[in-house]
Chain A
């Protein structure tokens, strides 16, 4: 095909969304290697483009010392390949990250990116230190061109190479690529992929050990299912079944599956357990059957990369993601973490059949010729792949995609990255722009040294709450506290003086550090978005046209997603300074940030006393929030009444709060801001305990519980119920006595219940983190699990893996708790240790100042005094 340029005609610019990219090496005729960046893009009309980008060479820097030229010369002399590899080298001035010192360097550009490491090491052997050799070629390309993945990109000049089933292939020089201003949303095609492996013997009996099936990879894939949507609304599904137990049929199944994936041409491929089962098994079977596993990817010849570190399987060109990565912080009621449980809890969908049943269906249809199971098999496989599709959204992955999009790092890696990677990547871009050298990743030796010398980080500052129950309390937060401190005090390596000065004075105010530049941009953008959100919310409250409203609500959701993406990025860098494995690890810096934060919490306390003439008081502070007890309680109580009657809250209703916030604003640096969060009618703190409080909001009337047992999973439902009821009484009515009565009432009721209700109220979940045999001291959950495995005749070494948390109930007796813990299904209800649960509940309410002893709820009942009708003989109130 003739190139457009050859036709002497400048092609019209091409606009596309950058989905993913990798690189390959092209061998030229003169045996030199050329690195080609390969981009998979999608046009507005959802057509795939494959762009080969030339002219961008990998590089690193070395010190420009007297011996540098000699070192290069000698390497050229001794290593012929180095001469072939080196593309160019020249002098350059950059600034060191620490102290911003100018430094004179040579930039060494090469050809094959894989050789960077080798040649930088060779130079090191000759006494020349190198810099930025550990930035991957693809990242380098994205940083230097400032191109952002998942955003719209424009190519102004290019050549058509070929066109095939995977899209148009074009070639261009890297100078021709740029970001566009286009902000139009792109509708991602998300595809879920699920396979079922034959786990039955030829006789149809279950093979118990699934690990050995995975290890040996001898069993065939019997079903493969896909679900996808191109418009985000209509979901399509397709299943592939193994019809005969032979290699040809399995090959056909896999080929059909791959062809279908490519014809759908998704951007995102999602699996559940794809890193441990779906992808490794599929690849293993392909290799056994003589199929090329590289065919899985849209580039056809790009190697599928197995999981390493935090990354999962990467199929260059697609963004592949295993949802199991997102389940780390999720809890299920049964304590098991599998597709059945997440489907039930997050989507409220029951799977039609588990994998054992699907195996049975397949066995009956294809080996026993019972066609009546065909529908069941199809339905269950379809549902499973649809569940996986829906879970992608339900687990918040679309929000994460938005974060990747903001920073624009390589999506196939970014999908698995942590906020720290995101923030650092953004900082790389800023540092590159400032000509600042990016610090290198720690070597193993450095890492070990950091770990051994790591001092205790100064955590977020938390004041011990003063007193237990308070009324009329203002809750205010420092808006993006750490990021705003970074901007206000110009925190970063470049400005750090390393002095013994106070944290606030440790950093010079100029020049602007990379962090300041990055954070300033982020905070400003977020402020704008928050304003848009607030305007839109006000508009939505008053607007009645439901069609238009739906559109605006969609817009609002997008803005909120973007706002949280910015927040994640802004908050990520504090962690970088605190994480030993980071390039930016520096506890002097991270501790300076927390120390400044701490100072400001203390300052707010001082300012509050100053402005209110000691009438208002900071009663609690927690990292970035402060709790101020107001003097004018009458206004607050009256306002709460008015709000109950339908009045909507305005800050101007509480002049004292306005006055305080204005005063704080006048005192704080302009980058820092204390913003109103809530107004507590009453608030209760657990005595002498940090991060445990609960309050009733004047603004919404809602009960908020932080840190108390009532929201913790390791507490029995009964204890939670009691504490929540007590909190409600204390907070709604400010009445400890009422709370006390309520607690006794609930405890007395508890004493009467039995059967299923008792089981439900006493089942607690405890974590299972490793093989029970590796626990030095037994926990109750481990005790129950061991008991369970013995009674159910299960292998303890296997069964523990199924549970992230294990349910148990404590039975009566005098032995240690772990010996009395039993799985709920095995429990004799009569033997449940009610007293244990009562004690637990009473201990929890004691923390909020409600004192009830076990003896108060036994056999006889203690009355309280009530003189409301004091002149008569009726002097006792009954509970």
Chain B
């Protein structure tokens, strides 16, 4: 079944797809009655992205019994990158040509792209909803965490996060270098009210994976981060009141500890 949707700000979708495509190159897009959704593991299954944008976020949204479509998100990203300020975005599916249509509607002009869809099998083991009780929850300004990642990348491939009631410690180390950053709940960069830490947790995550997601977030926005000791981290980015991008990354565990297991 065909569908169509019109978004006031084409740039917004461009930002979102830029983040998602850095994680998964190809994916199924589910166009449902309440909004559109992409949920996919990256090829290595170390991380998973969960994107949702509700129908109310769109100026126009028509979708009924639409089948999921497979798209190259990398291609879609290159197209959406061309979005200009003040351009609207229309996305639709042409049932006759079986093509996914992307249109940029500006004042007195219109640009149109048609993408062939690809056959992507449904991925197994993606739960509809994930409920995890986290010991550590905090909401931090994107610019702060982006700086932390940059600092850590100079030292190692991994970021260690230790949460205590007095604050969050970020660190990275290699044979020759070390990096440490500490932030208190009262910091300007932290949403003090959302800081909830019970006990002490520590985990380590791949910087590559964290960066893929976090570097695309607007630096003035906030990201909610939650994790437990040696368990996946969840990053939540609320897209105003229009939807969300949730990202899970599996931890990395020191081999010596594993042997003790």
Residue numbers of A with Cβ under 8 A of B are 736-737, 740, 851, 855, 859-868, 870-871, 873, 875-876, 878
Chain B residue at minimal CB-CB distance from A864:
B45
Query: How many Å lie between the Cα of A154 and that of B205 in the bound state?
Result: 87
Chain A residue at minimal CB-CB distance from B127:
A870
A859, B232: Cβ atoms under 8 Å? no
Binds A, one of B29-37, B107-115, B216-224, B245-253: B245-253
B62 within 8 A of A: no
Q: Which of A851, A859, A862 contacts B250 (CB 8 A)?
A: A862
Query: How many Å lie between the Cα of A602 and that of B46 in the bound state?
Result: 41
B127, A865: Cβ atoms under 8 Å? no
For B250, what are the chain A residues with a Cβ–Cβ distance below 8 Å? 862-865, 876
Whether A867 touches B127, Cβ cut-off 8 Å, given contacts A875-B231, A876-B230, is yes
Interface-central residue, A737, A740, A867, by most chain B CB under 10 Å: A867
B131, A865: Cβ atoms under 8 Å? no
B254, A860: Cβ atoms under 8 Å? yes
Query: How many Å lie between the Cα of A863 and that of B158 in the bound state?
Result: 13
Taken residue by residue from 104 to 134, chain B's Cβ proximity to chain A (1 for < 8 Å, 0 otherwise) reads as 0000000000000000000001110111110
Chain B residue at minimal CB-CB distance from A855:
B157
Name 12 extra pairs, CB < 8 A, besides A865-B48, A867-B48, A875-B132. Answer: A737-B45, A855-B157, A860-B204, A861-B258, A863-B232, A865-B47, A870-B129, A871-B130, A875-B231, A875-B232, A876-B231, A876-B250
Query: How many Å lie between the Cα of A736 and that of B41 in the bound state?
Result: 12
A865, B206: Cβ atoms under 8 Å? no
Interface residues of B in 34-59 (CB under 8 A from A): 41, 43-48
Interface of B is mostly: loop
For B127, what are the chain A residues with a Cβ–Cβ distance below 8 Å? 867, 870
B252, A862: Cβ atoms under 8 Å? yes
For B157, what are the chain A residues with a Cβ–Cβ distance below 8 Å? 855
A195 CB to nearest chain B CB (Å): 62
Query: How many Å lie between the Cα of A866 and that of B126 in the bound state?
Result: 8
B228 within 8 A of A: yes
A867, B254: Cβ atoms under 8 Å? no
For B255, what are the chain A residues with a Cβ–Cβ distance below 8 Å? 859-861
Whether A867 touches B131, Cβ cut-off 8 Å, given contacts A851-B44, A861-B253, A862-B206, is no
A873, B133: Cβ atoms under 8 Å? yes
A867, B204: Cβ atoms under 8 Å? no
Q: Which of A736, A737, A740, A867 contacts B126 (CB 8 A)?
A: A867
Chain B residue at minimal CB-CB distance from A857:
B255
Chain A residue at minimal CB-CB distance from B232:
A875
Residue numbers of B with Cβ under 8 A of A are 41, 43-48, 125-127, 129-133, 157-158, 204, 206, 228, 230-232, 248-255, 258
Q: Which of B125, B131, B132, B133 contacts A866 (CB 8 A)?
A: B125
For B47, what are the chain A residues with a Cβ–Cβ distance below 8 Å? 865
B126, A862: Cβ atoms under 8 Å? no
Chain B residue at minimal CB-CB distance from A878:
B258
Query: How many Å lie between the Cα of A878 and that of B47 in the bound state?
Result: 15
A737 CB to nearest chain B CB (Å): 5
Chain B residue at minimal CB-CB distance from A736:
B43
For A878, what are the chain B residues with a Cβ–Cβ distance below 8 Å? 258
A873, B46: Cβ atoms under 8 Å? no
Query: How many Å lie between the Cα of A873 and that of B226 in the bound state?
Result: 13
For A870, what are the chain B residues with a Cβ–Cβ distance below 8 Å? 127, 129-132
Chain A residue at minimal CB-CB distance from B134:
A873
Query: How many Å lie between the Cα of A146 and that of B196 in the bound state?
Result: 99
For A860, what are the chain B residues with a Cβ–Cβ distance below 8 Å? 158, 204, 252-255
A791 CB to nearest chain B CB (Å): 34
Q: Which of B44, B125, B132, B249 contacts A873 (CB 8 A)?
A: B132
For A736, what are the chain B residues with a Cβ–Cβ distance below 8 Å? 43
A865, B253: Cβ atoms under 8 Å? no
For A875, what are the chain B residues with a Cβ–Cβ distance below 8 Å? 132, 231-232
Q: Which of A851, A861, A871, A876 contacts B232 (CB 8 A)?
A: A876
Query: How many Å lie between the Cα of A740 and that of B43 in the bound state?
Result: 10
Complex A-B: 11 CB contacts under 8 Å? A740-B44, A851-B44, A855-B157, A860-B253, A861-B253, A863-B253, A865-B41, A865-B248, A870-B129, A876-B231, A876-B232
Whether A863 touches B252, Cβ cut-off 8 Å, given contacts A868-B125, A875-B231, is yes
B44 CB to nearest chain A CB (Å): 6
Chain A residue at minimal CB-CB distance from B156:
A855
A873, B130: Cβ atoms under 8 Å? no
Interface-central residue, A862, A875, A878, by most chain B CB under 10 Å: A862
A751 CB to nearest chain B CB (Å): 10
A868 CB to nearest chain B CB (Å): 5
Q: Which of B41, B46, B228, B230 contacts A862 (CB 8 A)?
A: B46
Whether A876 touches B46, Cβ cut-off 8 Å, given contacts A861-B258, A865-B232, is no
Q: Which of B46, B130, B258 contacts A867 (CB 8 A)?
A: B130
For A871, what are the chain B residues with a Cβ–Cβ distance below 8 Å? 130-132
For B48, what are the chain A residues with a Cβ–Cβ distance below 8 Å? 865, 867
For A737, what are the chain B residues with a Cβ–Cβ distance below 8 Å? 44-45
B228, A873: Cβ atoms under 8 Å? yes
Q: Which of B126, B130, B132, B251 contacts A863 (CB 8 A)?
A: B251
For B132, what are the chain A residues with a Cβ–Cβ distance below 8 Å? 870-871, 873, 875
Query: How many Å lie between the Cα of A632 and that of B31 in the bound state?
Result: 26
B70 CB to nearest chain A CB (Å): 13
Chain B residue at minimal CB-CB distance from A866:
B125
Query: How many Å lie between the Cα of A861 and that of B204 in the bound state?
Result: 10
B228, A859: Cβ atoms under 8 Å? no
Query: How many Å lie between the Cα of A876 and that of B254 in the bound state?
Result: 14
Chain B residue at minimal CB-CB distance from A867:
B127
A873, B231: Cβ atoms under 8 Å? yes
Query: How many Å lie between the Cα of A860 and that of B172 in the bound state?
Result: 14
Query: How many Å lie between the Cα of A860 and that of B129 in the bound state?
Result: 30
Chain A residue at minimal CB-CB distance from B261:
A878
Query: How many Å lie between the Cα of A851 and that of B228 in the bound state?
Result: 27
For A861, what are the chain B residues with a Cβ–Cβ distance below 8 Å? 252-255, 258
Query: How many Å lie between the Cα of A862 and that of B44 in the bound state?
Result: 10
Query: How many Å lie between the Cα of A855 and that of B249 in the bound state?
Result: 17
B46, A865: Cβ atoms under 8 Å? yes
For A851, what are the chain B residues with a Cβ–Cβ distance below 8 Å? 43-44
Chain B residue at minimal CB-CB distance from A748:
B255
Query: How many Å lie between the Cα of A859 and that of B41 in the bound state?
Result: 25
B207 CB to nearest chain A CB (Å): 11
A740 CB to nearest chain B CB (Å): 6
Chain B residue at minimal CB-CB distance from A869:
B127
For A868, what are the chain B residues with a Cβ–Cβ distance below 8 Å? 125
Query: How many Å lie between the Cα of A859 and that of B206 in the bound state?
Result: 14
Query: How many Å lie between the Cα of A737 and that of B41 in the bound state?
Result: 11
For B41, what are the chain A residues with a Cβ–Cβ distance below 8 Å? 865
Query: How many Å lie between the Cα of A861 and that of B158 in the bound state?
Result: 11
